[in-house]
Amino acid sequence: MQTEQKTKTSDYIIELRAVTKSFGNVNAVDGISFGVRPGEVVGLIGDNGAGKSTLIKILSGVHQPDSGQIIVRGEAVRGWNAAKSREAGIETVYQDRALAPQQTITRNIFMGREIKNRFGVIKVKQQYAEANRLMRDIGFTSKVFDPDSPVATLSGGERQGVAIARALYFDADLIVLDEPTTALSLVETAKVFGFIENVRARGRSIIFIGHNIYHVYDVADRFVVLDRGQVVMTEVKGAISTPEVLIKHMQEIAELGHATDASGT
């Protein structure tokens, strides 16, 4: 309630303010303020271990921050968790894909958000039909797939397809993709980018985490660079003429980071 005044002007879907999270003595997220506006694609980049996954897991409610605020559509939230974040229209494709391999494709797509009646009884036929439609939409034509087959029978790219189909089904306002193209073939990667364009065209927001700077440069409207748990650069695409410029910035950051470190901040 007290935060209402402060945040009234916030045009972010979700915003983090001075958020920290440490694991033991690793400060994975070390005082980050960060937000996503409606319709924008944010490219989140940084070295391995920079804290990207931890940051988006705070957004999606998997990790509770040690300190700082989470503000959703202008209101500070309490007890933020994964279920609430999904209810708030945030879907995340996690780096580990968050699949249960022994369960069917259908069950994985609806994991945690089943189609059910008010007594909790699952509408099995409807889920099956929706899963079938989604798998076609996402381009599962290569072989005779069946929404009733276990995810363990799928290839890496197909598994990523299931994880993305899940995000697609719930028609989220914000879709978070944590390294979605890692270990995918060229064709599969192209599919993921097609998917991102789709989401963008529908005016939804995206956070895209990627290793490949060229990829990130292509899809993002704005870049946020993390280094050792902190935001070290935020820049809109207009200010960066080519991916090479972005790469150069990244290199500088790496060096600067070391320099700051050596001087004992």
Partner 1 sequence: MFGSGSGSEQQIAREDASGLVKWLRSNRRAITSTLFLFVMLIGFTAANPEVFTQFKTYRSVMIALPVSMFLVVPLVFVVTAGEIDLSFPSVVGLASYAFASIVDHGGDPLIGIAVALIVGAALGYLNAILVVRIGLSALVATLGMNFFLRGLINIIVEGFSIAIPEIRDTFIHGLLTDDPIKIVDHLGIPNQMLWALAFTALGVFLYNRHSFGVRVHCVGDNPESAAEMGIDVSRTRTLVFVFTGIGAALAGIFSVMINFVWWPTTGDGLLLPVLAGIFVGGTPAWGGIGTVFGGMIGTSIVAFIETGVIAAGLTGFFTQFFYGLIIILSLIFQRFNGGRVR
Ligand X SMILES: Nc1ncnc2c1ncn2[C@@H]1O[C@H](COP(=O)(O)OP(=O)(O)O)[C@@H](O)[C@H]1O
Q: Which residues bind ligand X (CB under 6 A)?
A: 23, 26, 28, 46, 48-54
Q: Give the shortest CB-48-to-ligand X separation in angstroms.
A: 4
Q: Does 137 bind partner 1 (CB under 8 A)?
A: no
For 188-195, the CB contacts below 8 A with 24+ separation are 188/157, 188/160, 188/161, 189/215, 191/138, 191/139, 191/161, 192/160, 192/164, 193/218, 193/219, 195/138, 195/164, 195/168
β-strands 90-93, 174-178 pairing: parallel
81 binds partner 1 (CB under 8 A): yes
Which residues in 202-261 contact partner 1 (CB under 8 A)?
none
Q: How far apart are CA 139 and CA 133, in angstroms?
A: 10
User: How many residues does the structure list for the chain?
Assistant: 265
Buried b (16+ CB within 10 A) or exposed e, 67-87: ebbbbbbbebbeebebebbbe
- Cβ burial, residue 65 (10 Å; 0-12/13-18/19+): buried
Work out which of 4, 18, 38, 101 binds partner 1, going by CB under 8 A.
Answer: 101
The answer to whether 92 contacts partner 1 (rule: CB under 8 A) is yes
Q: Which of residues 37-56 bind Mg ion (CB under 5 A)?
A: 53
96 binds, among partner 1, ligand X, Mg ion, none (CB under 5 to 8 A by kind): partner 1
**35 binds partner 1 per the rule CB under 8 A:** no
Nearer to partner 1, 145 or 193 (CB): 145
Minimum Å distance from CB 107 to partner 1? 6
Q: Which of 150, 157, 243, 257 binds partner 1 (CB under 8 A)?
A: 150
User: Which range, of 8-16, 59-67, 197-205, 244-252, touches partner 1 by CB under 8 A?
Assistant: 59-67
The pair phi, psi for residue 11, each rounded to 5°, is -105, 20
How far apart (Å, rounded) are the C-alpha atoms in residues 246 and 225?
10
Binding site for partner 1 (CB under 8 A): 57, 60-62, 81-86, 92, 94, 96-103, 107, 111-114, 116, 120-122, 124-126, 128-129, 132-133, 146, 148, 150, 152-153, 166
